[in-house]
Amino acid sequence: MNWWENEFLKVKNNRLYLEEQPAEEIARKYGTPLYVYSRKQVLRNLRALQEAFSPAPAGLEVRIAYAMKANPHGSILKTLLKAGCWIDAVSPGEVEAALKAGFPENKIMFTGTSISREDFEKVLKYPELTVNIDAVEQIDLLAAACKKLRRRKPVRVSVRWNPGLGRGFCSKTVTAGSHSPDGTPIKFGVEDSQVLPAFRKLKRLGFVPVGLHQHLGSGWTEEDFPVAVKAVDRMVKKAKELKQAGFWLEFLDFGGGFGPKYREDQRLFPLAEYAACILDKVEDSGLGLKAIVVEPGKYLLASAGVLLVKVEYLKKSYGNLFACVNAGTYNTVPRPAIYEEAYHEIVNAARVDSGKKARLTVAGHLCETGDVFGSERSMPAPRGGDILAVLMAGAYCRSMASNFNLRPIPGELIL
């Protein structure tokens, strides 16, 4: 069995099946390139996450707030709403899309960075929504937006703090600490020393502080566990300081970041241990929280989607072998083009395993050297017309795709 096989992706007679349907048949019927998502797999992933947090004591709500930036497809949103999820939205556009899918305002938290007063005005139209501020400097903008709207109902606010340490699968996805490993200054969150002043200012201006939030980064593996645990400790300690200063919090939001497995040699983040650690520390803290929140994006969606592409021809040049496909990374699965460290397994739907392997690069049709889905892969040699499946394409693929080179963004099929 291949490491990536699961209930969604199966191999029968050396052919790839997606939820029991041959991938090639789907490609023939709907054309390529095509995103194919499995609603059942999204729900399986959600169930696994709920299971990890199932030891939560009675009286402590566990809110799973889907980070919809991963994949804002309306039908996926509706499925997650029905399954009990909340929403992490990062722009007024995402707030609107969540409302359109049916999420009630009080299940949406808006977390914005580099926010304008106009952005705040747009989201403050919804009186039950929670606003998560990312900078002390946002508080005056928030107050100005309330004044402009003549808003009477007090705004529920949370503070995204930066606990001083972060982790992610690459520099661009580390979102806490002072700098990324590559030296980029990190723009997110309120620094430690400013958290209490921020709460005091919010209260003074008539806002209702209800939560503390952190998000360390994205794509954690087993190696990231000790840092994730340390950040849980810091969060609980900070919440205790706030309680001592008179701020009772309704919730602590630990963000997302826990990654699914993208490659065979990657050791999976120990989700059950992480959940147990959060639950233990929160229970021991005496904080009297009503809820804890996690904000998964990748975890729920990545493994529930693939991109199907067609091999147009094989090309040889200077000793390189290319499978030239009818799609471009930027328009479909942009992660490998944006993040050098991103890896997506590529499977030939017509011959999944074969003794005779070739070393080849799966190249897209864009005018850019970085437009490769996979470089120097050892895989069964494809033929012109073969369908390839790019795996783990359910999260941060369609939502990050562009029309670069004026190529269209593919359609999406939900099985």
Ligand X SMILES: Cc1ncc(COP(=O)(O)O)c(C=O)c1O
Nearer to ligand X, 70 or 98 (CB): 70
| Residue 342 Cβ vs ligand X, minimum distance, rounded to whole Å | 13
Nearer to ligand X, 215 or 310 (CB): 215
Using CB under 6 A as the binding criterion, the count of chain residues that bind ligand X stands at 15
| Residue 295 Cβ vs ligand X, minimum distance, rounded to whole Å | 4
Tokens 């709207």, residue located? 149
| Helix (H) or strand (E) run with residue 411 in it | strand 411-414
Closest CA to 252 of 234, 269, 270: 234
Non-local (6+) Cβ contacts of 94 within 8 A are 68, 69, 72, 87
**Contact mark string toward ligand X, 234..273, x via CB under 6 A:** ---------------------xxx----------------
Nearer to ligand X, 257 or 364 (CB): 257
**Contact mark string toward ligand X, 274..313, x via CB under 6 A:** ---------------------xxxxx--------------
Nearer to ligand X, 186 or 381 (CB): 186
What does the longest C-alpha to C-alpha distance in the chain come to? 70
Tokens 């926010």, residue located? 115
Q: List helix spans (H) across 253-315.
A: 271-285, 298-301
CA atoms within 13 A on the CB side of 362: 33
Bridge partners, 310 (sequence order): 387
Nearer to ligand X, 97 or 350 (CB): 97
Instruction: Please report whether residue 111 would count as binding ligand X according to CB under 6 A.
Output: yes
| Residue 70 Cβ vs ligand X, minimum distance, rounded to whole Å | 5
Residue 84 dihedral angles phi and psi, to the nearest 5° = 100, 10
Among 16, 45, 56, 88, indicate the residue that binds ligand X (CB under 6 A): 88
Bridge partners, 10 (sequence order): 17
Helix, coil or strand: residue 389: strand
Residue 146 known to be catalytic: no
Q: Which residues bind ligand X (CB under 6 A)?
A: 67, 70, 88, 111, 215, 218-219, 255-257, 295-299
**Which residues are catalytic, by number?**
367
